[in-house]
Amino acid sequence: MADKKWFEEMEAKIPKGKVRTRFAPSPTGWMHVGGLRTALYAYLVARKAEGTFILRIEDTDTKRYVEGATEIIIKTLKGAGLYYDEGPDIGGPVAPYVQSERRGLYRPYAEHLCESGAAYYCFCEHVEHTERDHESLGVVSAEEDKCRSLPIEEALCRVQAGEEHVIRMKAPREGTTTFEDTIFGTITVENKTLDDMVLIKSDNFPTYNFANVVDDHLMGITHVVRGTEYLPSTPKYNILYDAFGWQKPVYITVPLIMRDAHNKLSKRKGDPTYDDLLKEGYLPEAVLNYVALLGWSPGGEREMFTLEELVEAFDTAGISKSPSIFDKEKLTYFNGEYIRTLAPEQFAELAEPYIRKVLTRPEVDVHAVATLLQPRCEVLSDIPEKIDFFEALPEYDTALYVHKKSKTDEAVSLQMLKAAKTAFEALSDWTQESVHETLIKLAESLGVKNATLMWPVRIATAGKSVTPGGAVEICRILGREETLRRIHIGIEKLEEACR
């Protein structure tokens, strides 16, 4: 059992004097949207107050631990721009920042509680010694644990003899416990509904809930941002804080994120993780901006914020109690807006891997294709299907040439393509300006509106009615020879259809 000096030394290390927040995920796989939002809000609270943002890895649940998940968490936060001031990979004044590496710290604190009568050693074989989910923490056994009243001297003898045991919090059986939450206000629970939560498991590992309290104190955490699933645990957290004589942090409980009106968003049920969204072609900045608004309102009509602007605008008073629904269509809208604000060369760099998935022809100008795409792209992963016609002319039906607004049918389109073919064959300088000028002058000489000529050329060169860019841009990118080849195919198709 640790002596008084050890506890005093631990207290002396605690940073004080400024706001300190933490993101404390369990390394169980890819980060889900809810986890990203919690990290973001904790980051914003710290940055708004010019405080410290910490990453702590809570890996006490060995059954759910996933190899490599810690690295994923670190990569995700940095990729999203949520740079922390202290953490597993960069250290800090209260290192280590991985709970399994802090394992020796927890038992002395639990033993201290046993000494003071706020906890007890439990040897009962019929009692489950493993950690339970937050939702089931309030389930109180109908049978009082007989170890609650075991004299400390007898309990210590059995511990020293090597008898398997856990350490449990001794929850009060009478009265109430009240706590304050920034979002949900004052919450009071009857103590008779609180179970004797396990603090140290039989494998000598701390439970998540106990390690959470000890680490928040020892790391000087002043504000705790967490999900609503932690509300049932909070009375027990506060009982522990009171038993130790420690100052409680400010609780900021954020609402659930729902898939729809009835189901929570859950990566276990196949809902997208942050990494999934990036792979689908969403930009980190767009995802972060959208996630910020899931449960928080900045006031007013404005929706688009950079991370720096979020720091300025963020106020916990804007956080709602009500669940928010993850709307993929709204995220897609945000992403499209972000894509259009990118510098052309920046978009081209992001788009190139998607463009190269379908375009292998070396003569195709990738940057020219990207220029066409940027005003019309919502999600990067949609790029291949938008531009696949540049690689190979798809099979198409001549019914596409019939377009009421452009005043074209198959016969008119045939006439237009023959004229365009002749004009293009005479054109040696193949630029966007020259192609445009040639088609405009041709339409004028034919006595038709521009659209009457442009529509058939577009269909012939793309084989699609919906394309990024019109006839001029498509012809310019395809090049003279490929454009003429495709127009020739269009003429043959229309001649067959008009017989």
Residues tagged active-site = 267
Closest by CA position to 387, among listed 407, 409, 403, 371 = 371
If DSSP states are collapsed to H, E and C, what string results for the chain? CCCHHHHHHHHHCCCCCCCEEEECCCCCCCCEHHHHHHHHHHHHHHHHCCCEEEECECCCCHHHCCCCHHHHHHHHHHHCCCCCCEECCCECCCCCCEHHHHHHHHHHHHHHHHHHCCEEEECCCCCCCCCCCHHHCCCCCCCCCHHHHCCHHHHHHHHHCCCCCEEEECCCCCCEEEEEECCCEEEEEEHHHCCCCEEECCCCCECHHHHHHHHHHHCCCCEEEEEHHHHHHHHHHHHHHHHHCCCCCEEEEECCEECCCCCECCHHHCCCEHHHHHHCCCCHHHHHHHHHCCCECCCCCCCCCCHHHHHHHCCHHHECCCCEECCHHHHHHHHHHHHHHCCHHHHHHHHHHHHHCCCCCCCCCHHHHHHHHHHHCCCHHHHHHHHHHHHCCCCCCHHHHCECCCCECHHHHHHHHHHHHHHHHCCCCCCHHHHHHHHHHHHHHHCCCHHHHHHHHHHHHHCCCCCCCCHHHHHHHHCHHHHHHHHHHHHHHHHHHCC
Contact 21, 51 (CB under 8 A): yes
Closest by CA position to 303, among listed 334, 282, 349 = 334
Closest by CA position to 317, among listed 187, 227, 185 = 185
Determine the Cα angle at 24 with ends 254 and 272, to 5°.
65
Q: Rounded distance, CA 353 to CA 236, Å?
A: 51
Do the bridges between strand 257-258 and strand 176-181 make them parallel or antiparallel, or are there none, so unpaired? unpaired
Contact 389, 429 (CB under 8 A): no
